[in-house]
DNA sequence: CGACCGGTTGAACTGCATCAAGCTGAGTGG
DNA sequence: CCACTCAGCTTGATGCAGTTCAACCGGTCG
């Protein structure tokens, strides 16, 4: 389960989190600098449940966390997969609208909402973080609303290759070199399915199909080597 | 097309916009108070295109606007339908990630991003607006990823009945009274389909089916009377 | 060794998309 | 005033992508 770690700064992973936010912005601070509590979680720990009071702001500093919503009959939709630097737990009402669950070992900063109210520096930081996350949500809506199963899985894999697939993607590094990349999913097939709006069987079938076509190699279930990043990228429906 | 209106305050529609934001918040200001330009648009005007430089922040003060993204082969996903008080045009990069198009006659305030950088009051307001909009995006991801066609259309109709369908919905006003409600879609079937991740034919079929079952009456194509709000609500998949 | 969990694969089904035709009402022009 | 047009919508017939149901596989743990 989660254990507390109140040691203040000097945590090296925090630096990474800051860098992953909008570069060039003037808000370089982590929530930790405002006296946020730092908590370590194990994989599949719940940070909070949908419906819990929303009295804290959270920042993921290492590892990954998913936010999901449930329908009464048990259908689940993973609405966001968070990476270090992402903000979560901010809600309009007084209740959380999602459940937050870790996907891996994760470090999370939690700050009282009251402190957020007081600090315009945090509000400034938040504005940028939230608009970046909204952009991802827009992208994800396109995936859920308009993409085929193969396109969804290919897009998902490409999310995990930060410097490729974007608007100004450089293509493979050099002529002649292999266009390889190893990605770590840190999600089960069920979690991927619930993120992509598919069933576990469809995800499995699509991955097997990509493997048979030589596009990817599966070492462990959650470690996948992309053999031809550019070819995979062409399957995302965005090129 | 759009014409400009630089007259400063005293516009009565602004008040409505402010009220529709989080009640009780301390940020009561409209962007207009910071010298934002006010622009009037006709239905189906484009405020900006995906890829345009993002150098302004927009606030919708009256009417409605949709944000959508296109895939290269022409598939379209409407990612947000905005109501008065909503903020848009804020982007992480230097380009808009969506196209913004009006659905009706609409009034929009536009403020230079530089002014946003300078004002912590605006940033504070934004924080709340954005987190409210993110919550809606989460809800919409559930719709797109996990709901059936009937559930999607029913949910869409219920979005347009502000005081019903929420967590603490009171149910029909009184015993014996009819549970009626008239809603105005201000969207074509194609726009609805692109918002709900369906085809125009499916939307049409679902609406016809609801009509046959007596749940709704269609006066004009975009004016629908909900005859039994509670029954419709039960079709959203959320109860 | 057996139980179990997460994943894969196959066979059959189905909800929605696709394709195609017809309808309706507002606008136009003779 | 009525025929014509055209855009938006509806309806029907057919097809298929992805779901559902069911069996099986392989690694891990007690």
CA distance A17 to A85: 4
CB of A92 within 8 Å of a chain B CB? The answer is yes
- Whether residue A189 is predicted with pLDDT greater than 80 in this model: the reply is yes
Angstrom distance, A52 CA to C15 C1': 36
The confidence score (pLDDT) of residue B23 equals 39
Q: Say how far apart CA B183 and CA B236 lie, in whole Å.
A: 17
Q: Which of A41-45, B4-8, B159-163 has the lowest mean pLDDT?
A: B4-8
CB-contacted nucleotides of strand D (7 Å): 8-13, 17-22
A167 contacts chain B (CB < 8 A): yes
The kind and range of the H/E element at A202 are: helix A200-212
Q: Which residues of A87-107 are buried (b: 16+ CB within 10 A; e: fewer)?
A: bbbbbbeeebbbbbbbbbebb
Distance B178 CA to D26 C1' (A): 60
- List of residues 6+ apart from B78 with CB closer than 8 A: B66, B67, B68, B191, B194, B195
pLDDT range class, residue B177, cuts 50, 70, 90: confident
Query: Are the Cβ atoms of A142 and B71 closer than 8 angstroms?
Result: yes
Share of chain B above pLDDT 70, in %: 87
| Total CB pairs under 8 A between chain A and B | 138
Which residue in B23, B70, B127 has the most chain A C-beta atoms within 10 A of its own C-beta, making it the best mutation to test that interface?
Answer: B127
For the stretch A13-51, pLDDT in tens is 333 333 233 333 444 578 888 889 999 999 999 999 999
- Residue–nucleotide distance: B181 CA to C30 C1' (Å): 45
Residues B139, B145: Cα–Cα separation, whole Å: 10
pTM of the model: 0.90
Tell me how far apart the alpha carbons of residues A135 and B42 are, in angstroms, rounded to a whole number: 26
């Amino acid at each position: 389960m989660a254990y507390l770690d109140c040691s203040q700064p000097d945590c090296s992973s925090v630096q990474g989190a800051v860098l992953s936010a909008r570069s060039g912005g003037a808000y370089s601070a982590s929530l930790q600098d405002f006296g946020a509590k730092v908590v370590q979680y194990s994989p599949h720990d719940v940070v909070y449940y949908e419906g819990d009071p929303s009295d804290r702001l959270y920042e993921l500093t290492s590892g990954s966390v998913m936010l999901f919503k449930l329908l009464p009959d048990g259908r689940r939709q993973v609405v966001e997969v968070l990476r270090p630097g992402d903000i979560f737990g901010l809600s309009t009402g007084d209740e959380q609208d999602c459940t937050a669950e870790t996907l891996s070992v994760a470090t999370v900063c939690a700050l009282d909402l009251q402190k957020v109210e007081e600090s315009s520096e945090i509000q400034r930081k938040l504005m940028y973080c939230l608009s970046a996350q909204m952009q991802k949500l827009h992208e994800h809506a396109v995936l859920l609303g308009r993409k085929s199963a193969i396109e969804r899985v290919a897009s998902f894999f490409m999310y995990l290759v930060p410097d490729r697939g974007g608007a100004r993607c450089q293509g493979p590094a050099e002529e002649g070199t292999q266009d390889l990349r190893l990605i770590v999913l840190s999600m089960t097939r069920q979690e991927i399915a619930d993120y992509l709006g598919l069933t576990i069987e469809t995800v499995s079938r699509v991955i097997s199909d990509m493997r048979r076509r030589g596009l990817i190699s599966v070492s462990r279930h959650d470690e996948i080597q992309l053999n031809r990043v550019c070819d995979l990228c062409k399957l995302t429906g965005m090129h």
